[in-house]
Amino acid sequence: MGDKIKRIGVLTSGGDAPGMNAAVRAVVRSAVGMGIECIGIRRGWTGLISSDFVKLDGSSVSHIINKGGTMLYTARSLDFMERAGREKAIGTCKLLGLDGIVAIGGDGTFRGALALSRQVAEDGQKLDVVGIPATIDNDIGCSHYTIGFDTACNTAVQCIDKLRDTMQSHERCSVVEVMGRHAGYLALYVGIAVGATAVLIPERPVDFENDVVENIRRARLAGSTHYMVVVAEGAGNAYEIADQIKEKMSIDPRVTVLGHIQRGGSPTARDRELASRMGYQAVQVLAQRKGNRIVAKQEGSIVDLDMEEALAMTKSLEMDRYDVLEALTNNDGFRNR
């Protein structure tokens, strides 16, 4: 491979997130504008193993910036986790003459990219990889924000606002489960935005009596007759939580699991703009022949970080947001949140 980058691949992997298409568009158009050919790898790392690809140009990514999902499709690949699977992927890279790959996804996507790059290096060759963080969970340690989070939050808020209308009409308690198996960013952000009676997140041990029962009790004593409990999927089973509420308080909650609806929909302006900036930056990094990097947002700026160092970074949930939630909820003077 020469010093000047000639051809790159772009893929989306893992769970889809609104704004992935905007990132793909930015990568393709930035590359084409610099005289770099761009190949779309369909179905993530699986597509790299099976040579599932399509040549992309500026017109082929027209009118996708406003669409949810990913035009390149996505998948999780067990085969790619094995050396033999990556060897097949390397064969595709050689066949296509790829100098670099932009991988759009989460932590698992980036670890796959790093493993691929290392395996190529063992043969004395070079394949530059750059990651773009896109996940609705907002749980990538090196980046203060990930593509898709804002859209997922807005989707959940819209759904919960509609649920509140019927819960208020029937004077009921609603338990809503949102995504977040290991991280409570989505649940806490949404909980504050909808004025939830209680929010349960994985990062904070659940004291059911104080966090749920007492919050509902205070709301009832203040005159409220409907209650909204938001649960991150990693903090507990929504149906079991509803059963506990029924047993302890003699009220009959209704459960709503929002599920994959949070992944869909047209991305917000914030996600489109961020995805465009990150996609552009990823191509700039590759053009400089800087490999094994992750593009991230830090303190309002788009930066690129060493992939190994970035994957070792962690970030903790800003628990001051939980303080805000409690301050606005645990007050007998507040009736209608």
CB 41 within 8 A of CB 52: yes
Q: Encode burial over 15-33: b for 16+ CB neighbours within 10 A, e otherwise.
A: bbbbbbbbbbbbbbbbbbe
Question: Which parts of the chain fold into alpha helices (H)?
Answer: 20-33, 44-50, 83-96, 107-122, 149-170, 185-194, 208, 214-221, 238-249, 269-287, 307-312, 320-329
- Among 198, 204, 193, 203, which Cα is nearest to 156's? 193
- Among 110, 74, 140, 104, which Cα is nearest to 276's? 104
- For residue 252 the two structure tokens come to 């009959």
The catalytically annotated residue of 16, 137, 271, 304 is 137
Q: Please identify which residue in the block is written with the tokens 């302006």.
A: 269
Residue type, 93: C
76 φ/ψ angles, rounded to the nearest 5 degrees: -105, 135
211 is catalytic: no
Q: How far is CA 77 from CA 46, 85, 86, in A?
A: 5, 9, 10
- For residue 170 the two structure tokens come to 């029937």
Active site residues: 137
